[in-house]
Amino acid sequence: MTYTELASTNGEAQTIVDTALRSAPPAELEPGKYYAFHTPTGIKEVDLTGPAAAPDRKVGVTTVRDALSFHAYFGKHSDDDSEVYADSDRLTVTAVLDAHQADGPRYNQHVLKLHLRETEAWKQWAALDGKLVGQEEFAEFLEDHLPELLEPAAAEMLEIAQSFQAASKVDFKAGTRLATGQRQLEYVETTTARAGQKGQLTIPETFIVGLVPFEGSEGYRLTARLRYRINGTELRIGYKLERPADIRATAFGDVVNAIGEHIDQPVMNGTPAA
């Protein structure tokens, strides 16, 4: 083989190699590493040790717990095409900040969600609602929740709670409704020193509590009706809140209205597409 023929063969071989390299699938490089490659024109260096490239769009779900936090985030990231949905069953207000536009789709991947949480006081009053318990347990509950007692005043309700505790060693006989609307419970002492002595315990038929249903929301007044039952000589007592579900729904609606007053987009009833 002549020199000219050898050179021609080498050239064809290099062309085949170059073509194969160009047709090979791209390789994924790991950020944070430094790479060097042999190329037909020399060594090519790729430095991936620097800061990562900024994302091309906003993605993720941000969860807040009150309307003020919702306003702060929404005001920073929303635009005219952002969409807002309220779901009373889930106690959520959801904003899709990159919602589809009228003339074309977007990603629907930047989401703000207000997820309301019930306060501990609301949950505790709801847990005992409609239940009858022993008088000492009921008295302790009233003492623990004096800040929520509005009418009668907390001081008067504390006296009632202390009366229940003082009358823990008695036999209850009957209960009557007075003209004032109060209830009068009759009992007989059972302690050794005062056995057989009769007494009376007067309690209100209703009382008013002030509760904040959700963290960061307003407070609302609820009427509670005292209930009792005398089983033999044992007194069981409790309360029944009037329409607590309506108060809860009103509180959620007020949160939604507060959000709607501070944004230009309408608040729709429902949930966004998954």
pLDDT surpassing 60 at residue 4: no
Domain segments of the chain as ranges: 3-47, 60-118+251-269, 120-244
Whole-model pTM: value is 0.72
At 228 the pLDDT is 80
CB atoms closer than 10 angstroms to residue 38: 9
Dump pLDDT digits (tens) for 153-170: 888 888 887 776 666 666
Task: Please report the DSSP string for the chain in residue order.
Answer: --HHHHHHHHHHHHHHHHHHHHHSPPPPPPTT-EEEEEETTEEEEEE--SPPPPPSS--EEEEESSHHHHHHHHHHH--TT-EEEEETTTTEEEEETTPPBTTB-----EEEEEE--B-HHHHHHHHHTT-EEEHHHHHHHHHHTGGGEEES-HHHHHHHHHHHHHTTTEEEEEEEE-TTS-EEEEEEE-STTTTT-EEEEEE-SEEEEEE--BTTS--EEEEEEEEEEEETTEEEEEEEESSHHHHHHHHHHHHHHHHHTT-SS-EEES----
Which range (10-19, 187-196, 206-215) has the least confidence?
A: 187-196
pLDDT of residue 202: 74
pLDDT confidence of residue 161: 79
Per the structure block, which two tokens stand in for 195?
Answer: 């056995």
pLDDT surpasses 80 at 37: no
Mean pLDDT over the full length of the chain: 83
pLDDT in tens, 52-62: 556 778 999 99
What was the pLDDT predicted at 186? 66
| Per-residue pLDDT band at 256 (split at 50, 70, 90) | very high
Which tens digit of pLDDT belongs to each residue from 95-145?
999 999 999 999 999 999 999 999 999 999 999 999 999 888 988 999 999
pLDDT of amino acid 44: 77
What pLDDT, on a 0 to 100 scale, did the predictor assign at position 31?
67
Please report, rounded to a whole number, the percentage of residues in the chain having pLDDT higher than 90: 51
> Is 189 a residue whose pLDDT tops 70?
no
Model confidence band, residue 195 (pLDDT cutoffs 50, 70, 90): very low
Of these ranges, 43-52, 214-223, 234-243, the one predicted with the greatest mean pLDDT is 214-223
Q: Choose from 31-35, 47-51, 69-73 the range with maximum mean pLDDT.
A: 69-73
